[in-house]
Amino acid sequence: MIFSAFSSRHLSRLASAALVLMLPALAAASYAEREDARAFIAELTARHDFDPAALDRALARARHDPSVIRLITPPAHKGARSWQNYRARFLDRTRIDGGLAFWEAHAATLQRAANQYGVPAEIIVAILGVETMYGRHTGDFETLSALATLAFDYPPRAELFRRELEALFLLAREQGRDPASYSGSFAGALGYPQFLPSSVRAYAVDFDGDGRVDFDRDPSDAIGSVANYLHAHGWQAGAPVAERARVAPGADTAPLLAAGIEPALAPDILASAGIGPLDGRAAAATATLVDLETPGAATEYWLGYRNFYVITRYNRSSFYAMSVFELAEALRLRRLVDAMRSARNRP
């Protein structure tokens, strides 16, 4: 029962603290010389018929990056989450103006993606806006070293990142690239859409038809790939994403919130609990109840439908999904208003 006395967060902190003491030794050692990395090379060689010497050379070039460990480690003392603070990071004028410019520059590609995958252009633009400010901030960490650091020197999530390191080697082979040629976020996410290597392999599409997937220079492949990702995870064309909820005074929201992020609450269940859209009608479909808390302010309640859940497959956070949705709505409405003004001003 000793394990039950510690949360995974406590274990993560203890592991990270131990790593701080080991950093000098880790930084000096080549991954190719380490027993765990050599076992990894043997596994990949057996599973995917890699040349072990090529993997050995690649891992010999990878370097432990302590900043990767620092950035991925949860803070020792988390402050209260604030929806208003989180929202303000993505619903500002710079991101809205940038989104409108991006939409204008790539309107034809966005429309083609919307037609092919059923995902509205504004949702695609909003995801790229939240992820990388439309490609401006894609990260400058060497992906091979970042993933090696996390795969071998970050025990709390080593299994996940060994899978991503494996996917990076497979991706590099498929694309005919040097594994060390990729760069991105500290967690190994790549390019405009910040796909991890496994997601690139599973969901990336050559949307401009040039024979390769390029997430670094031209957003066309990213636009198609984001749409394909959402489509593959169950996006429902023309269906609602979310709407603000009315919660009757004294309603017990706890059991509804405990139902989880995947929509499981039928309209009649919500209605019987005193919850529905602001205009008093029944919920449009089976939903999840989303609570967006801000310290010192009233909690915002929303009904999240299937498409809201699909956005959380991109990043498993209701704050993230709501930021994407609200940015998408802001972009859609601004574009509509601008079009109406332009029409009025025509001679």
Q: Which residue has the tokens 């090379």?
A: 41
Q: What is the number of other CB atoms lying within 10 angstroms of the CB of residue 80?
A: 9
- CA dist 186 and 334 (Å) reads 34
First vs last Cα of the chain: how many Å apart? 78
Listing DSSP states for 196-208 in one string gives -HHHHHHH---TT
- Asked if 244 and 302 touch (Cβ cutoff 8 Å), the reply is yes
E-strand stretches of 148-299: 183-184, 242-247, 275-277, 288-292
Residue 26 Cα to chain centre, angstroms: 29
- CA dist 73 and 175 (Å) reads 31
Between β-strands 242-247 and 275-277, what pairing exists: parallel, antiparallel or unpaired? antiparallel
Check if 166 is active-site: no
Catalytic residue among 131, 142, 166, 243: 131
- CA dist 330 and 183 (Å) reads 31
Q: Is 292 left (phi over 0), alpha (psi -120 to 50) or beta?
A: beta
Residues assigned a catalytic role:
131
